[in-house]
Amino acid sequence: MALTTLYVELLSFACLLAAIHGVNGRAVNQFPEDFLLGAATASYQIEGAWNEDGKGENIWDHMLHEHPEYGNNGENGDVACDSYHKYAEDVQALKDLGAKVYRFSISWSRILPTGDLDVINQAGIDYYNNLINLLLENGIEPMVTMYHWDLPQALQYLGGWPNPILADYFLEYARVLFDNFGDRVKWWLTFNEPYTFTRGYASSGSQAPSQNAPGIGDYLAAHTVIRAHGMVYRLYDEQYRPTQNGKISITLNCDWFEPYNDLEETLEAQERMFQFQLGLYANPIYVDGDYPAVVRERVDNNSRAEGRPRSRLPSFTEEEKRMINGSADFFGLNSYTTMLVISAALGHSPSMDLDCGVLRIINFTWPSSSAIWLKVVPWGFRNIVNWVSSRYPNYPIFIAENGYADTGELDDEGRISYYGQYLAELLKAINEDGANVIGYTAWSLLDNFEWNSGYSQKFGIYQVDFDSTERTRTPKASTSFLANIYRNMSVPEEYFQ
């Protein structure tokens, strides 16, 4: 009798401890000691100075100048947040936020105006040197994205990413970055969201360079990008890591896909959606050097049925597979929301949509942001982190983007609620489910140029006044909310109830 009572009491004590301390002896609401918390931006979205000091034109400059109607009210990134001139204010904002890491991207055409090595623009190198040095002086680690969608237009004239030669150009660009910045930059990301930017070769009117070759251009672009990533990883690993000793990866975007019902075909559709979006890139890099079997099979079959002599999805050589397999030091993940998925034959022929055969549904009963695609679904964030952690084990995860859109108000309760809940779910994945997550950079440090949505969608932790030539930065309510989390390395307990 007494033993049973003791047993029950011990059990409930253990449960209580687990509730407070998670699986690894830390309170559930506490980040690991060496966890990197920070914020992210991208060159075209913040820098402006689109044609200053020798910068070359890129595909977003080109597309939005030629086709202002593809943007929002003719808006573009010509000036944006003017971070080219105001980077010192950005660093101060990061410092006030208590960021340990700043993820920003380098504009390829600011360094190499033609994309090639014939002109190396010293003013561009100076700009990033100044930014990097100021970050380090302030105790903030730079994390550099080499490519956040702004391809030099000169390389688009060669066909852009569907042209396999682009991998060589990217390799040469990467070498310039390692040579000039690698002594101080210890975190590198080759590409940001290839799933998103390769759509620029599958549609017109949205993603640059607006080349409408669905089901062909997107796969060709993906193929070059994966090879380019692998080549740059090997370059770093062999020639720079011994002296520079940093980490290098890619960042892939994937939201959580929740099956619409529990029918077998819906669960298969869920799996297909993950494989066509994330697996297309993650399987070659993190699993076996090659595309997921379901992707290979469906694109090959459809290509054959269309009467083509070869698959629309190219193949890697055995040597390329060995080069690509394992070409990452961690798993970069961008994730914002959750969508419902169901099996459906949709999209025109040919297209990746038709190959994938999944309908993504925005659930309008979930809480909204100002971006139609971005529903606030914190539990989905925990699910996708755990999905990545179990499918691609042995790689620490770095959340390179996660954030909330509104219309830019200073009293941004919606953003506070989003970050509070999403960070709580992230901590549950780390402390209760055992996911190995090492860092998190919130999107975004500043309100900025949100691509086709222009300045209508605001993701910033700081407000930027786009009506003022000063582009004044002002903290929002979420700035101090996140600063508290970053300082304490913990999320308020109310978000765990």
CA distance 140 to 419: 21
Whether 238 is a known active-site residue: answer no
Among residues 187, 392, 443, 495, which is the contact residue for ligand PNW, using CB under 6 A?
443
Is 276 a binding residue for ligand PNW by CB under 6 A? The answer is no
Shortest distance, CB of residue 3 to ligand PNW, whole angstroms? 56
Return the residue nearest ligand PNW (CB atom). 373
Residue with tokens 């989905």: 380
* Residue partners of 446: CB distance under 8 A and separation at least 6: 41, 46, 81, 83, 90, 93, 460, 461, 462, 464, 473
Q: How far is the CB of 336 from ligand PNW (least distance, A)?
A: 6
Q: What is the CB-side half-sphere exposure of residue 166 using CA atoms within 13 A?
A: 25
Nearer to ligand PNW, 302 or 369 (CB): 369
Q: Report which of 427, 338, 426, 423 is spatially closest to residue 376, judged by C-alpha positions.
A: 338
For residue 247, what are the β-bridge partners? 187
Binding ligand PNW by CB under 6 A: which of 57, 61, 447, 450?
450
- Site for ligand PNW (CB under 6 A): which residue of 13, 373, 411, 484? 373
Structure tokens at 345: 């034959």
Q: Is 52 a catalytic residue?
A: no
Least separation in angstroms between residue 470's CB and ligand PNW is 23
Helix 477-488 to helix 413-431 angle (10° resolution) is 20
In 3D, which of 365, 371, 358 has the Cα closest to residue 456?
371
The answer to whether residue 170 forms part of the interface with ligand PNW (CB under 6 A) is no
- For ligand PNW, the closer of residues 240 and 459 by Cβ is 459
Q: Which of 57, 75, 401, 425 is catalytic?
A: 401
Looking at the Cβ atoms of 192 and 283, the one nearer to ligand PNW is: 192
How far is CA 51 from each of CA 62, 67, 80, 172, rounded to the nearest angstrom?
11, 18, 13, 23
- Residue whose CB is less far from ligand PNW, 182 or 200: 200
DSSP structure class, residue 495 = G
Interface of this chain with ligand PNW, residues 54 to 113, rule: CB under 6 A = none
| The one catalytic residue among 47, 89, 141, 193 | 193
Residue 448: in which H helix or E strand, if any? none
Site string for ligand PNW, 251-270 (x = CB under 6 A): --x-----------------
Q: Which of 28, 36, 42, 80 binds ligand PNW (CB under 6 A)?
A: 42
Q: Are 416 and 406 in contact (CB under 8 A)?
A: no
Query: Taking contact as CB under 6 A, which single stretch among the options 78-86, 191-199, 297-305, 376-384 is the one that binds ligand PNW?
Result: 191-199
> For 201, which DSSP code?
G
Q: Which residues fall within 8 angstroms of residue 81, CB to CB, at 6 or more apart?
A: 45, 46, 47, 48, 90, 446, 447, 448, 449, 464, 471, 473
User: Which of 76, 107, 156, 192 touches ligand PNW by CB under 6 A?
Assistant: 192
Q: Considering only residues 396-425, where is the footprint of ligand PNW by CB under 6 A?
A: 401
**CB distance 38 to 101 below 8 Å:** yes
Q: Name the residues annotated as catalytic.
A: 193, 401
Return residues touching ligand PNW (CB under 6 A).
Answer: 42, 45, 192-193, 196, 253, 334, 373, 401, 443, 450, 459
